[in-house]
Amino acid sequence: MSAAQVLERRGEQGQGGERGASPGSQPTPPPRREKKTSFDVVIIGAGPAGYTAGIYCSRARRETLVLSGLLPGGQLVNTTEVENYPGFRNAIMGPDLMLDMRAQAERMGTAIVDDEVTNVDFARRPFRVMTASEEYTARAVIIATGASPRKLGVPGEGELAGKGVSYCATCDGPFFRGKEIVVVGGGDSAMEEATFLTKFASRVLLVHRRGELRASRIMQERAMADKKVEMALNTTVGAISGDGRVERVTLRDASGSERDVGAGGVFVAIGHEPNTALFRGQVELDARGYVVVRDGARTSVEGVFAAGDVHDHEYRQAITAAGFGCMAALSADRHLAASQ
Ligand SMILES: Cc1cc2nc3c(=O)[nH]c(=O)nc-3n(C[C@H](O)[C@H](O)[C@H](O)COP(=O)(O)OP(=O)(O)OC[C@H]3O[C@@H](n4cnc5c(N)ncnc54)[C@H](O)[C@@H]3O)c2cc1C
């Protein structure tokens, strides 16, 4: 079922009302088309987790709706080549991969509506999921709203995202062979990214705004033990520039003086923000705002499941998100079967 087919047809035979009307009689008014708003499963989010959950729920013959939010396709629509999603001998472009996932879910019967969820009510059954213009009810809900990488907010970052500016070393590291790279951040993930990137880069400059790193000692030691890693503490990034690709990074030290360093890439590793504001007070979140899951995909509310980066702050990959989407869908199907 396509997004357009969310519209449930009423009085199909009456379509084209004039047909069959006797001469002189009033034409039959066009049939009233009412939007379908009640589903077995509503999936919030349309990244790899949400679409995969849609595919599995629909194949299990559950009436399924995906609400995509402001970024249909999720984080991968903001990238170019994806080399590590299985099934593609050659790299596939992120947006193409996500369009294919969407089409696959639609072919299985998933309804997809490009609308943002503004409120949810998991306190009563059926659950309610609201957008600015609609209220949907669901017997089960899958939260797949992902997480957004924190941005530096400096000139050049947005324009050069995907053209040398990256937020994921595991994803993009192999594209930076032999290049000088700047990694920004001072926590464990920045250390991990810097260490990982030494496999490819000729030099990794780790830039951190404070005089001390936040990372655990062991992670710091591991990063510092590598001869390719250099540190620039008490330093911030002022701008990223280049002609269509990252070529330079402007660094600013504590005294405010600036210098340009040549760089073929910038990896921003200053954390992620889970997209969970909507669920505060509805399901249990951890101290960092990620959804807490137990036994695979279960949240603190029976019948509400979570999948992907919205709960997984460790792996954060398209394939793991898709795997979690599958798990959440199977759990939702079992929940529905048990509560029928
Ligand atoms: C630049 C970049 C490159 C990457 N490259 C790779 C790579 O090469 N390989 C790899 O495996 N991984 C890569 N990743 C990581 C990968 O994209 C994520 O791990 C994956 O997309 C997570 O999937 P998800 O479905 O959990 O969430 P997301 O992809 O984040 O999708 C979340 C979805 O939730 C929706 N949403 C949010 N709030 C609402 C709301 N209120 N109402 C309705 N919907 C909402 C969004 O619109 C979006 O559709 C990359 C990430 C980035 C940022």
Per-residue pLDDT tens digits for 223-269: 999 999 999 999 999 999 999 999 999 999 999 999 999 999 999 99
Each residue of 186-215: pLDDT tens digit? 998 899 999 999 999 999 999 999 999 999
Give which of 68, 141, 140, 57 is closest to 102, Cα–Cα: 68
Instruction: Report, in angstroms and rounded to the nearest whole number, the Rg of the chain calculated over CA atoms.
Output: 24
What is the model's pLDDT at position 100? 98
pLDDT in tens, 97-133: 999 999 999 999 999 999 999 999 999 999 999 999 9
Other Cβ atoms within 10 Å of 141 Cβ, number: 30
171 given a catalytic annotation: yes
pLDDT band at 34 (very low <50, low <70, confident <90, very high): confident
pTM for this model (two decimals): 0.85
CA 74–ligand 1 middle distance (angstroms): 4
Query: Who contacts 214 (Cβ-Cβ below 8 Å, separation ≥6)?
Result: 186, 187, 188
pLDDT, average across residues 278-285 = 98
Per DSSP, the three-state class of 139 is strand
Domains and CATH numbers, the chain: 38-148+272-339 (3.50.50.60), 165-268 (3.50.50.60)
The phi and psi torsions of 318 (rounded to 5 degrees) equal: -65, -40
Cα(24)–Cα(22) distance, rounded to whole angstroms? 6
Q: Give the pLDDT of residue 193.
A: 93
Residue 331 phi/psi, 5-degree rounding, is -65, -40
Residue nearest to atom 53 of ligand 1 (CA): 75
Answer for the pair 265, 162: CB distance below 8 angstroms, yes or no: no
Residue of 96, 100, 115, 168 with catalytic role: 168
Note the Cα 82 to chain centre separation in Å. 15
Residue of 67, 71, 75 to mutate, ligand 1, most atoms within 8 A of C-beta: 75
CB 100 within 8 A of CB 2: no
Q: Which residues of 106-139 are buried (b: 16+ CB within 10 A; e: fewer)?
A: bebbbbbbebebeebebeeebbbbeeeeeebebb
Question: Tell me: the pLDDT tens digits for 53-83?
Answer: 999 999 999 999 999 999 999 999 988 889 9
Residue 168 known to be catalytic:
yes
Question: In what helix (H) or strand (E) does residue 50 lie, and over which residues does it extend?
Answer: helix 48-59
For residue 166, count other CB atoms closer than 10 A to its CB.
26
- Asked if 328 contacts 142 with a C-beta cutoff of 8 angstroms, the reply is yes
Query: Which residue has the least CA distance to atom 5 on ligand 1?
Result: 171
Are the C-beta atoms of 142 and 330 separated by less than 8 Å? no
**Pocket of ligand 1, beta carbon within 6 A:** 44-50, 67-72, 74-76, 78-79, 82, 84-85, 116-117, 144-146, 149, 167-168, 171, 275, 278, 308-310, 316-319, 321
State the average pLDDT for the chain: 91
